[in-house]
């Protein structure tokens, strides 16, 4: 326990300290912000939403006041940026028409240092949210603001825009007006006092400050309270009801509202008491960390992400573990209807009860309050604390019938004492959180916020370690300690070598206390350190459990050493070992463990569920060891032999299946088992995502119609957890009763291996072959989800099997439409019972295919289907329904995915146009590829048969530029389309020439090109085609005087000398046979 020494002056300073919530301070008025573009969200029907909500409200259910509108707003895709001095400012203006209040959910929130986020309406402004609000989960959920329109204003230092992570994914639209929630007039305000005739309230001012209203996901609302812990360190543990549905998936969206109270006392029974109290929610905390929950006592425990807002002046409520129900004065502090905080009293009977509130039980996990004498509770009070006359918490509100209209109605609370041990795990109990060092305390008084600055804290008061290892504690001084505070060890360190990183420290500073490892006696050491500075002093007690022995070898439970006829579906289990951190398991086919088939380490429980099956009729060697801080234990070794069974597997292929949130749907999933034998061993795996899995139950039906109950509603229907991943097997260590009590609020509420609700022995006379059916029943409205996996492993009882299995090799068939051979073979693996009479048929939908031949190889156990073509089909995805029929008409069907691919079609050439005359420069080629084209190759050639291309370039684009093409003569180009799977086609051919090139066609595929023009020293003559008569040319000047004669004998390129000619205009006449033409030539 702690001891506090405060001087009168220090205490007075604390008492006189007044704190108010910070006001949002930014440079733009709401009128200025109003000028920015307005994003209008989809309209909501408030009346319809409220009708639906009121129809679903019931005791034990959180109240919903808002609907979440999904959004996708980021600074990069919406709003407006501008610069204001040395800051970049982003403004997003939103309107959800008709909303009574708004609050926001950012699924990404990470601001750089100096960044500030504000929310502004025409009624109020909140903020700033800063980099100090960055969290590991990267989210931010804001308090509510009034009205249906708000402005998000982000300010960051200039140049830090790219460091902002901000993604607004939910705008929560209030359809009820949570601010206008009215509680019944019989309620008593916590502000009422002796001056108002309610002196009874004055004695409970401290515990009143422990209670807060909160919202979850910006939509739901409940009450919760701060709870003290054995370390009395001001850790912000916040307790509430499990049915309010806080979980690891949504804990970051908790927003707590402190001191939401009426500023005046409204006399119970008065008109004013049933009207608005004008309290405010301007003191809030955002975010929590889920710790534990149990539906069996309707308990949930969280830890707020940040220390409680100092302006709340909070109080951490005490608690009691008494087994008997409290008597005399009983107090409830709560937010009825999530209205301003109220207080209620009863002097009537309070008793321990079972789930039925009227059934008294000495072992009941609940407390029933028969009725209230002053005040009442209402919806929204859920999760609020019940105090005994010593102001210690005894429970939290689950459900009830009490109200101002029903003054004799009961209320039922989860019993704090039952929640202490919970369901026996850290995730389902509060003991390990509120008394982490196991002090054995059975009651604690409350702890006042004013004491926080005068204490020494550490993250972990109790540690375990091996004697050879050093152990360190980080000690932090509260802010009331002065500089130079002395720190010393005062008790419990005898026989230990200890050290302090510093013997003095100042406010908020951390000192490391180390216990050095070595030759130390084992045992539990309780060490007290004292910090003394000026008039402030505090003792902190640390617990260190030292041990020096390595962990002992675990005792093997399954399979036992020497066991025979072990099922191929067996799991491996062993007894837990004290101080073990984890376990290792190895399974081998050799005694020296060189033939490992299973090698798993880091196992944090005592059961290993293996994937797949062991081999039949095989000797195995199995060993397990425990690891601890002092090293690994010796291996514990066992040997066993598996049964000579034959096994089969089946997996449902029609998943996922939606489980509707409306009504009470029944979802049916089926799977087929191909092998035929009498059922011996069986295990069934079910994986599903679903909120409130207490609604679910399931049956399993064999192919012959035998049905058993696979599981019943977890926690007898009360499990509020989400999701399930369970394998049901009769060899599981955990029973169906364990399954019923396994509800947790982990991401997967129930996970592991359990025995089924009814024995699989009912299937012992059933055959494995055929269709197995899972029927999943959702017995309640609202919650929904989907079935993701349903699978069966089944093994024979006798080892005798008729194997008519069919499996396709690979992951399906892929073929090209343009391949006349069909492109691919489908290979089927057949079971051993097929013979030469085996037949096969293939369908696509209702159409039977005949485009294949089949080859049966009984020695290899294969059936090969060779497809020849796919005429009549288009490219796309199909399903081949293959049926293999054995002697006697035994037929097995499988479905094989078929993907038909098309070759890339010919591209359409765009530019240059055919026979274009281009400037002598780089040429840009452009075309329109076919939809199946993955790449294109452009070729340029001197001949139209492309026997010798002079340029080639491949691209995934539809345009390419090629430089340095030869001038003179005709050039030809084309594009070849390609795709990796099925090839492609070639486009048509186009030609082009460069400016300064004259080309003439002389018939019979002959062409003549003359270049360059103008010329300086020579003219180049290029002949294409067959020139039997050759070519003659005569050059004339401008007066018609004949100057030169030329002769070319055949196709090819020839140069005619013009270097001796004067600059000017000339005319060249060329002739071959009966064809001739004249070309104007410029010499310069």
Per-residue pLDDT band for 856 (boundaries 50, 70, 90) equals very high
Asked if 419 and 241 touch (Cβ cutoff 8 Å), the reply is no
What's the pLDDT band for 424 if we cut at 50, 70, 90? confident
Mean pLDDT of 966-985: 86
> Is pLDDT at 758 greater than 60 in this prediction?
yes
CA nearest neighbour of 739 among 316, 788, 725, 747 = 725
- Fold assignment, 806-901: Immunoglobulin-like (2.60.40)
In the structure encoding, which two tokens stand for residue 280, read together? 């405010």
End-to-end CA distance of the chain: 111
CB 1035 within 8 A of CB 1068: yes
For residue 78, what are the β-bridge partners?
Answer: none
Q: Are strands 862-867 and 852-857 parallel, antiparallel or unpaired?
A: antiparallel
Query: What phi and psi values does residue 130 have, to the nearest 5 degrees?
Result: -130, -170
The confidence score (pLDDT) of residue 416 equals 98
Residues 799-825, mean pLDDT to the nearest whole number: 77
Phi, psi of 898 (to 5 degrees): -120, 130
- The dihedral region occupied by 888, where left means phi > 0, alpha psi between -120 and 50, and beta the remainder, is left
Taking the CA atoms of residue 292, residue 296, residue 297 and residue 301 in that order, the dihedral angle to the nearest 10 degrees is 10
Nearest CA to 91 among 100, 82, 103?
Answer: 82
Could you tell me which residue, 299 or 425, shows the higher pLDDT?
299
- Burial class of residue 645 (count of CB atoms within 10 Å of its CB; 0-12, 13-18, 19+): buried
- 1063 phi, psi to nearest 5 deg: -65, 140
pLDDT exceeds 90 at position 1082: no
Of 31-35, 252-256, 751-755, 796-800, give the lowest mean pLDDT range: 796-800
User: 778: which 2 tokens?
Assistant: 């959702």
Task: Decide if pLDDT at 13 tops 50.
Answer: no
pLDDT at 963: 85
Question: For the structural domain made of 647-796, what CATH number should be given?
Answer: 2.60.120.260
The CATH code of domain 455-547 reads: 2.60.40.10
| Span(s) in the chain for CATH 2.60.40.2550 | 1005-1083
Choice between 586 and 873, residue whose per-residue pLDDT is larger? 586
Q: What is the pLDDT of residues 481-500, one digit of tens each?
A: 999 999 999 999 899 999 99
3-class DSSP state of 110: strand
Q: Return all residues near 479 (Cβ < 8 A) that are at least 6 apart.
A: 453, 507, 508
Is there a contact between 185 and 269 (Cβ–Cβ < 8 Å)? Answer: yes
Residue intervals of the chain classified under CATH 2.60.120.260 are: 647-796
Kindly state the DSSP code that residue 612 receives in the 8-state scheme: S
Q: Does domain 30-180 have CATH number 2.60.120?
A: yes
Relative to beta strand 572-574, strand 891-901 is unpaired
Tens digit of pLDDT for each residue in 622-661? Answer: 999 999 888 899 999 999 998 888 888 899 998 999 998 8
- What are the phi and psi torsion angles at 253 (to 5°)? -95, 10
Bridge-based pairing of strands 657-659 and 647-651 is unpaired
pLDDT band at residue 912 using 50, 70 and 90 as cut-offs: very high
Percent of the chain with pLDDT over 70: 95
Residue 696: pLDDT band (50, 70, 90) is very high
List the Cα angle 433/141/275 in 5-degree steps.
Answer: 95
Q: How far apart are CA 377 and CA 364, in angstroms?
A: 22
Express each pLDDT in 317-359 by its tens digit. Answer: 999 999 999 999 999 999 987 688 999 999 988 999 998 999 9
**Domain range 908-994, its CATH number among 3.40.50.2300, 2.60.40.10, 3.30.2320.80, 3.40.50.720:** 2.60.40.10
Q: Dump pLDDT digits (tens) for 46-71.
A: 999 988 888 877 766 777 888 989 99
Question: What DSSP designation does 549 have?
Answer: S
pLDDT for res 615: 86
Are 678 and 766 in contact, with CB atoms under 8 Å apart?
yes
At residue 20, the pLDDT reads 31
898 near 815, Cβ under 8 Å? yes
Is 453 strand, coil or helix? helix
Contact 165, 138 (CB under 8 A): yes
Question: Alpha-carbon distance 804 to 143, whole Å?
Answer: 64
For the stretch 1047-1063, pLDDT in tens is: 999 888 888 888 888 89
The CA-based diameter of the chain, rounded to the nearest angstrom, is: 138
Average pLDDT over residues 308-313: 91
C-beta of residue 1083 within 8 angstroms of C-beta of residue 1043? no
CATH of span 556-642: 2.60.40.10
Pick the CATH number of 188-434 from 2.40.10.10, 3.40.50.80, 1.10.8.350, 3.30.930.10: 2.40.10.10
Model pLDDT, residue 1011: 78
Token pair of 981 as six digits: 């799977």
Q: List residues with catalytic annotation.
A: 243, 298, 382
| pLDDT the model gives residue 798 | 54
Cis peptide before 339 (omega within 30 of 0): no
Identify the weakest region by mean pLDDT among 3-12, 97-106, 841-850: 3-12
| CA dist., res. 206 & res. 194, Å (int) | 16
Q: Write out pLDDT tens, residues 167-191.
A: 999 999 999 887 776 677 899 999 9
Question: Looking at domain 1005-1083, does it have CATH number 3.65.10.10?
Answer: no
Q: Where do you find CATH 2.40.10.10 in the chain?
A: 188-434
Q: What b/e sequence results for 31-55 when a residue is b if at least 16 CB atoms lie within 10 Å of its CB, and e otherwise? A: eebeebeebebeebebeebeeebee
Region(s) of the chain under CATH 2.60.40.10: 455-547, 556-642, 806-901, 908-994
pLDDT of residue 3: 31
Please, which residues bridge with residue 728 across strands? 684, 754
Q: What is the pLDDT of residue 337?
A: 74
Alpha carbons 1018 and 1011: distance in angstroms, whole number: 9
Beta carbons within 10 angstroms of residue 707's beta carbon: 14
**Strand (E) or helix (H) holding 11:** helix 8-16
**CA pair distance 302, 237, nearest whole angstrom:** 6
């Amino acid at each position: 326990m702690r001891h506090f020494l405060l001087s009168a002056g220090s205490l007075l300073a604390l008492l006189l300290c007044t704190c108010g919530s910070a006001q949002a301070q930014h440079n733009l008025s709401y009128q200025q912000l109003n000028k920015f573009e307005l994003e209008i969200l989809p309209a909501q029907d408030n009346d319809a939403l409220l009708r639906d909500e009121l129809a679903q409200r019931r005791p034990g259910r959180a109240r919903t006041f808002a609907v979440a509108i999904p959004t996708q707003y980021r600074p990069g895709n919406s709003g407006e940026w501008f610069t204001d001095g040395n800051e970049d400012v982003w403004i997003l203006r939103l309107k959800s028409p008709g909303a009574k209040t708004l609050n926001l959910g950012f699924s990404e929130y990470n601001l750089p240092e100096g960044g500030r986020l504000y929310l502004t309406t025409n009624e109020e402004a909140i903020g700033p949210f800063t980099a100090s609000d960055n969290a590991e989960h990267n989210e931010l959920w804001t308090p509510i603001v009034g009205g249906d329109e708000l402005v998000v204003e982000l300010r960051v230092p200039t140049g830090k825009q790219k460091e902002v992570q901000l993604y607004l994914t939910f705008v929560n639209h209030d359809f009820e007006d949570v601010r206008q929630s009215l509680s019944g007039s019989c309620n008593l305000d916590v502000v009422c006092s002796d001056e108002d005739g309610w002196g009874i309230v004055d004695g409970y001012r401290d515990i009143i400050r422990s209670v807060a209203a909160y919202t979850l996901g910006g939509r739901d609302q409940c009450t919760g309270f701060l709870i003290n812990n054995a370390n009395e360190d001001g850790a912000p543990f916040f307790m509430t009801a499990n049915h309010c549905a806080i979980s690891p998936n949504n804990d970051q969206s908790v927003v707590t509202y402190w001191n939401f109270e009426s500023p005046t006392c409204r006399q119970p029974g008065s008109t004013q008491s049933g009207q608005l109290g004008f309290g405010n929610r301007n003191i809030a905390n955002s975010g929590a960390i889920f710790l534990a929950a149990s539906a069996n006592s309707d308990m949930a425990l969280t830890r707020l992400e940040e220390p409680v807002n100092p302006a709340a002046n909070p109080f951490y409520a005490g608690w009691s573990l008494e087994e008997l129900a409290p008597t005399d004065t009983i107090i409830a502090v709560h937010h009825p209807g999530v209205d301003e905080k109220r207080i209620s009293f009863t002097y009537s009977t309070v008793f321990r009860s079972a789930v039925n509130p009227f059934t008294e039980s000495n072992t009941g996990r609940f407390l029933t309050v028969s009725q209230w004498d002053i005040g009442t509770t209402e919806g929204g009070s859920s999760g609020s604390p019940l105090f005994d006359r010593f102001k210690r918490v005894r429970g939290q509100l689950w459900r009830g019938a009490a109200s101002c209209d029903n003054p004799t109605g009961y209320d039922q609370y989860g019993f704090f004492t039952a929640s202490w041990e919970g369901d026996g795990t850290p995730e389902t109990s509060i003991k390990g959180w509120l008394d982490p060092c196991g002090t054995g305390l059975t009651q604690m008084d409350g702890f006042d916020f004013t004491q926080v600055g005068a204490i020494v804290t550490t993250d972990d008061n109790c540690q375990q370690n091996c004697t050879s290892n050093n152990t360190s504690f980080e000690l932090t001084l509260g802010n009331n300690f002065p500089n130079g505070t002395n720190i010393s060890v005062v008790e419990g360190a005898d026989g230990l070598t200890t050290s302090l990183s510093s013997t003095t420290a100042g406010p908020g500073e951390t000192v490391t206390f180390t216990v050095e490892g070595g030759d130390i006696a084992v045992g539990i050491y309780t060490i007290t350190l004292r910090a003394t500075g000026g008039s402030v002093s505090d003792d902190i007690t640390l617990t260190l459990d030292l041990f020096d022995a390595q962990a002992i070898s675990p005792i093997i439970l399954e399979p036992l050493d020497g066991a025979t006829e072990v099922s191929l579906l067996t799991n491996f289990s062993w007894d837990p070992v004290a101080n073990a951190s984890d376990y290792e398991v190895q399974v081998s086919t050799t005694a020296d463990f060189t033939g490992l088939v299973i090698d798993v380490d880091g196992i944090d429980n005592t059961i290993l569920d293996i994937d797949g099956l062991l081999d039949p009729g095989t000797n195995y060697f199995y060993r397990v060891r425990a690891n601890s801080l002092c090293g690994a234990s010796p291996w514990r070794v066992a040997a066993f032999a598996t049964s000579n069974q034959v096994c089969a597997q089946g997996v449902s292929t029609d998943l996922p299946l939606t489980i509707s949130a409306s009504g009470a749907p029944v979802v049916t999933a089926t799977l087929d088992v191909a092998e035929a034998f009498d059922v011996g061993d069986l295990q069934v795996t079910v994986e599903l995502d679903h909120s409130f899995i207490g609604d679910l139950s399931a049956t399993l039906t064999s192919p012959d119609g035998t049905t058993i109950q696979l599981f019943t509603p977890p926690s007898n229907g009360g499990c509020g957890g989400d999701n399930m991943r369970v394998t049901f097997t009769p060899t599981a260590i955990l029973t169906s009763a364990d399954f019923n009590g396994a509800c947790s609020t982990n991401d997967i509420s129930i996970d592991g291996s359990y025995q089924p609700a009814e024995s699989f022995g009912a299937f012992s006379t059933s055959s494995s072959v055929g269709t197995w059916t899972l029927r999943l029943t959702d017995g309640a409205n609202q919650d929904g989800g989907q079935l993701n996996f349903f699978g069966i492993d089944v093994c024979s009882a006798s080892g005798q099997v008729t194997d008519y299995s069919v499996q396709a090799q690979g992951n399906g068939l892929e073929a090209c439409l343009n391949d006349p051979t069909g492109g691919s073979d489908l290979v089927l693996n057949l079971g051993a019972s097929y013979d030469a009479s085996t037949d096969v048929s293939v369908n696509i939908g209702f159409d039977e295919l005949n485009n294949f031949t089949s080859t049966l190889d009984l020695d290899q156990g294969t059936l090969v289907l060779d497809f020849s073509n796919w005429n009549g089909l288009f490219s796309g995805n199909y399903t081949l329904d293959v049926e293999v029929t054995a002697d006697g008409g035994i037929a097995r069907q499988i479905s094989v995915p078929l993907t038909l691919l098309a070759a890339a079609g010919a591209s359409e050439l765009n530019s240059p146009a055919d026979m274009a005359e281009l400037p002598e420069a780089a040429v840009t080629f452009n075309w329109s590829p076919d939809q199946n084209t993955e790449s294109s190759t452009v070729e340029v050639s001197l001949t139209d048969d492309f026997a010798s291309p002079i340029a080639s370039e491949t691209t995934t684009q539809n345009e390419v530029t090629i430089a340095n093409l030869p001038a003179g003569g005709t050039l030809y180009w084309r594009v070849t389309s390609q795709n990796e799977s099925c090839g492609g086609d070639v486009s048509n051919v186009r030609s082009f020439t460069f400016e300064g090139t004259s080309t003439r066609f002389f018939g019979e595929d002959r062409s003549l090109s003359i270049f360059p023009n103008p010329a300086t020293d020579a003219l180049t003559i290029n002949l294409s085609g067959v020139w039997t008569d050759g070519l003659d040319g005569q050059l004339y000047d401008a007066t018609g005087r004949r100057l030169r004669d030329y002769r070319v004998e055949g196709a090819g390129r020839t140069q005619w000398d013009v270097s001796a000619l004067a600059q000017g205009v000339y005319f060249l006449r060329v002739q071959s046979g009966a064809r001739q033409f004249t070309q104007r030539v410029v010499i310069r």
